[in-house]
Structure 1
Amino acid sequence: MLNLSFDSILPSEIQSYSGHLILTTKKESPKKCEKPLLNEDIFEHPPTVIRGKMMQKLNLNLEEELLILGIDPGQQIGLSIFYCSKEIESSFHSSVEGLVLHIIQILGGLRAKRKIIKIGNGNMTIAKQIVTMLNLKFCSSFELEFVDEHKTSPKIKNFNQRGKRDMLSAKYISQRDGYRYSILPLSMTG
């Protein structure tokens, strides 16, 4: 699912391995290792979180740790996720609840100085459902922007083939600015 190339090595070869990142079991992990190392428990996370954690480990001279989620609300909900200025996911979801559960995994799984959710204002009913459900189920703060989504839907042949238009709209939404709100979890605000 991640489409990564890799080398298979023995535990005794870890210290001399010339690659950039090592994935191993906790049992076979050396006590000290100069190479960035991840253990097999990383696969408990969704692929997007795994990509982000790999970026963190590799320390790719990334810009400010910023996690931006662009959402195009509608019948099919487009989602675009940028982590440290790189798009790490483009997907679409058919239910608000499924989307919110996925977003919670991403927000909870990735470390970032700022976590910003940008939602298009084209369908405020669904946008408000997403925000309400996030506020009820996610126990940390995040920033929220409602973004003008005028001219974010590209003209694609075959209407909305496999959600392409919704995903592209979400990407455009993630790059726009709107009025920013700080959302504090209900556990803090009562």
Structure 2
Amino acid sequence: MSASIVFHGLAAIAYAVLALSLWLPIQKYQRSPKLDRTFRAGLLAAIIIHGTGLLLTIILPHGLHIGWALALSAGLWLGMVVFWFESLYLRLDSLLLILLPTAALVSLIATLFPEGIVVHHANSEWLRVHLLIALCAYGLAGVAAMHAILITVLDRQLHRPVQAAGQQNTWYRALDSMPPLMVQEDLLFRLIRIAFFVLTLTVI
């Protein structure tokens, strides 16, 4: 329980600091955030801290500790991991404007609500694997659903009249800096395929 609070708290702080470093330039009318090596190293460290907290909290010697906040946290962590690998060959930096504040909020929620239930009969390795795979599948499906909502918002943004630079608010500039819709749709379908594949593993 204490590991969940400590690691999720550290992850929330790390995500919040990284998010702030991206949103401040947007407020100063700088369009697309550009990530340097220092930022990417910090992001990777935050993801590792977040994942370590989940690992130490969910997998126990006598079973599995599962709660709604932990499930939400695991889903967002998987989303961050997918983003990390996708960003190695796609320009998705602007998505962090949405991902980082969301990850910080979810990590904070997991810090404040670490309660859950312990599945005592999960001492079987196969049962543990089954439950963890199912958790990953539903987490990825949840991330895909949130991404679909973002695509809908971006589509509406494209159909609005273009505002003059002086009239654009921070949210407008953030959405305007997002990757093209075609790239977003490719990422969405890739998430759905991965989630479907992982979910299929639960019935094997």
TM tier, smaller: under 0.3
Which structure shows the bigger proportion of residues in helix conformation? 2
With CA pairs under 8 Å and 6+ residues apart, which has the higher RCO, 1 or 2? 2
TM-score by length of 1: 0.27
